[in-house]
Amino acid sequence: MATNRTFTMIKPDAVENGHIGAILEKITAAGFRIVALKLTQMTVADAQEFYAVHSERPFFGELVEFMSRGPIVAAILEKENAVEDFRTLIGATNPADAAEGTIRKLYATSVGENAVHGSDSDENAAIEGVFHFSGREMF
Ligand code: ADP
């Protein structure tokens, strides 16, 4: 199986609730290598661009407001089968549906404020990584 990369954000709710350390520990304990990492904040325009695929959805305004309201931790992670394995580690979008032990089951509060993002394809992982990091910030 090929080593590849995924992109994640620890979302504003999980940062506000003090879960950065616990979530990074779960990520590294699951075998992901951190190849880029920073605390940053998205502007409203950044969030609108990042989530443009959801612009017609009824929750788009709420999502943009949430994702830009405070700092996030952005990271690029490397592992065999990274995209799929990371989606398994974080669990379903709605924490009520997420499997026991997943990051969203442990730390998410609602379907909107669900603690973490994980890319849904190799292509989007690359696009999302470049959205947040320059070449000098990726190792
Ligand atoms: P995922 O992040 O699991 O890939 P989606 O791509 O469907 O999920 O949605 C992107 C993000 O939009 C979710 O992580 C969540 O923060 C938000 N979201 C999704 N569905 C809803 C909803 N029904 N109500 C509010 N926010 C939502």
User: Using one digit for the tens of pLDDT, what is the confidence trace for 64-95?
Assistant: 999 999 999 999 999 999 999 999 999 999 99
Is pLDDT above 80 for 1? no
d(CA 137, CA 36): 6
- Within 6 A (CB) of ligand 1 lie 54, 59, 62-63, 93, 111-112, 114, 117, 120
Domain ranges, ordered by start, for the chain: 3-137
User: Contact, 45 vs 85, CB < 8 A?
Assistant: no
Cα separation of 9 and 19, whole Å? 12
pLDDT at 2 over 90: no
CA 37 → CA 28, 34, 51, 56, 115, distances in Å? 13, 7, 20, 30, 16
| Contact partners, residue 9, CB within 8 Å, separation at least 6 | 72, 73, 74, 75, 116, 117
pLDDT at 36 exceeding the cut of 80: yes
Question: For domain 3-137, which CATH number applies: 3.30.70.141, 3.30.930.10, 3.30.365.10, 3.40.50.300?
Answer: 3.30.70.141
Q: Look up the pTM and report it.
A: 0.98
Nearest CA to ligand 1 atom 15: 112
Take residue 88 and report the two structure tokens written for it: 């398994």
Question: Residue written as tokens 């997420």?
Answer: 98
- 74 closest CA partner among 14, 17, 123: 14
Atom of ligand 1 nearest to the CA of 92: 3
ipTM above 0.95, yes or no: yes
Q: How far apart are the C-alpha atoms of 83 and 101, rounded to whole Å? A: 18
